[in-house]
Structure 1
Amino acid sequence: MASRCPKICRPGLLVLILLTAAPLAARSDSLPQVRMIIDNYDYMTALSPDDFPTRDSALAACASIAAEAESLKTFWDRQGLAVLDRLSLYAGISWLEPQFDIYLVKYFPDYGCSDPLTIPLAGKKNGDRIIAVPQGLSHLLALFQQVSRRLLNQVFVPGASEGYLAIHPLLQKTPRRFDALADLLALSALADFADPDSVMAVYRSDEWRRRAPGRDVVLNHLWNRWPLSPDNTLAARIASEPVRSDLVALTKPPEQMRPRRVGLSRIIGQPAAGGQLGFSVTEDQGGLFRVTGIDSLKAAYAAGLRQGDLIRLVDNQNPRDVKSLYAMILARLADGVHIAYLRDDQPAAVILYPKP
């Protein structure tokens, strides 16, 4: 990662942002009061009693992340109201809760949480396994991501003026729906506070592939098609999206995918990978791969792939041959694989999940 985007990987970049960014105006009267807490001794002990059995051990952990925590807190003290305001403007959603806290901790069982809003600065920790997280702009994006999720949750509060959005399928709380929309909102707002190219470089990094399972939806279907602004809000985009649209179909979670059963139309003689995934391909002209057979009872058919489709890309990469195409899909299947293809010369895409 460092060789691809050395600028964004330096911890000092966040300090640079703080020094060069002027505070943006905000409507403080309509925004919640938010404290960013960095001395979370009791919270860290409660989260990880085995790691921090005493207050002294929690104190030492806080000291080890003090520099990055202070940078984030300095940013929030200076720009926090503007962040809350910008997110609300771009979302078209009002803040209803009067106050909440943001906790900066050393480790957390996940990459973060929106309630209580928690940002781990050293990494994700489950048992003895630690996945370290980059500092600097990556932490800032994580902060915007969790605050965005918290804002989207306002539509589920009884009496919310945007409560009509709560029944839209795109706000179903799954990685490729709710979380993807929150990521879009976070990226749009953060681009007003930091260099947009650097922000997108962080989001496109391998690290954020793990942190954002809905990233393919954001990059391939939302970022260029749903640009957000106070005049083109996320709420308006969601409200105008038909509940049976291609985007809604594309982002269905695996348990909702139910292929139409059409007898025993199984494909005979597929390679092992084709048998597992439910489709077979042959190499075609122009680096394309033609779907020559498909099993109506398996994952590929459920996702929307059909016989005759010409596969172009797997997660934005060009397979070298049939074997590498299957290998690329199988390696990423658990998280969902974005497959771009042509059907009747028209570009289309599906996300392939394991068959439930």
Structure 2
Amino acid sequence: MSWTAAQTRYDAMQYRRCGRSGLKLPLISLGLWHNFGDDTPHNRKRDIARTAFDLGITHFDLANNYGPRPGAAEQAFGELLRTDFAPYRDEMIISSKAGYEMWPGPYGEWGSRKYLIASCDQSLKRMGLDYVDIFYSHRFDPETPLEETMMALDQIVRSGRALYVGISSYNSKRTREAAAILKELGTPCLIHQPSYSMINRWVEDDGLLDTLDDLGIGSIAFSPLAQGMLTNKYLSSIPEGSRATQGKYLSSIPEGSRATQGKSLREQFLSEENLATIRELNAIAERRGQTLAQMALAWVLRHGRVTTALIGASRPEQVKDCVGAISNLDFTEAELKEIEATTVEADINLWAASAERKGPPRK
């Protein structure tokens, strides 16, 4: 039996213009970084994607290396496009990226024209698409001229492989340089994808948000829930005062969480200090009538400077909870001051504010 999307899918979701472009994105976007690889049953991926679209999430964010195995998320999403979403392609924004290692040898990662264009072609083949809506340079390459990387993005648009281009995890200085090159080429930079959350504030310290405002570039914040730390997942399963054998980190990490799967959330991030911060933030969220995840998303979206917040989900119920954030994006000055006094930089930015660092961990 074929699936039909909900008639009410546009009733509640809000959409925000991406920079100075004509494109609008939903306030919540769905990322397929985790939970769309070979280690997740296909039926669950389908249920998550259907739920998201039924709730007005039109933007689905992928990359060539998302899995596990690399390429698996795009392959799974391509199957969903064929079986479920084929009638809705023109209602969807589908993005992909290239920058991290995908195949052996000197042409399988970073920012050369050779790699970016070959990877884009592979992504289109895996998803069964003629084009993606947005294609990103996934990370700055310190050994390839920035002009070459940006010229490759320009060619990807001019050849019809993508409608727009973006960059991810570039610092403010490199963002200005990249945007200037793209503007001169005639393919403006649409969007920047940095990590950003209440406990990962590098974009503020770096001045990146000011840069994006100045250049008219939109933004999509990834890991706004700090890879699951800013949810209720770690509130009840890790008893206060319980410690690992080293006496430094908390134990009883929830089974199936990212910290137990060897993915991006490292166990050492769950320190006493970080978890105490999370418990205090949860108390603020409860007073606002929100879950911690909802407040964390609302905080990222609060001033309109961030176009959309990118979530991951392992169950459809998590998508529903996150979308609930858009019903209350307003904070009192007292709440913002309390959050500011409560939050501390948790040192969880794996992608480094410095675009000069070579070889940041895989995203």
Q: TM-score w.r.t. structure 2 length?
A: 0.25
Looking at secondary structure, tell me which structure has more strand per residue.
1
Looking at secondary structure, tell me which structure has more helix per residue.
1
Say which one has the larger Rg. 1
Does 1 or 2 have the higher relative contact order (CA < 8 Å, sep 6+)? 2
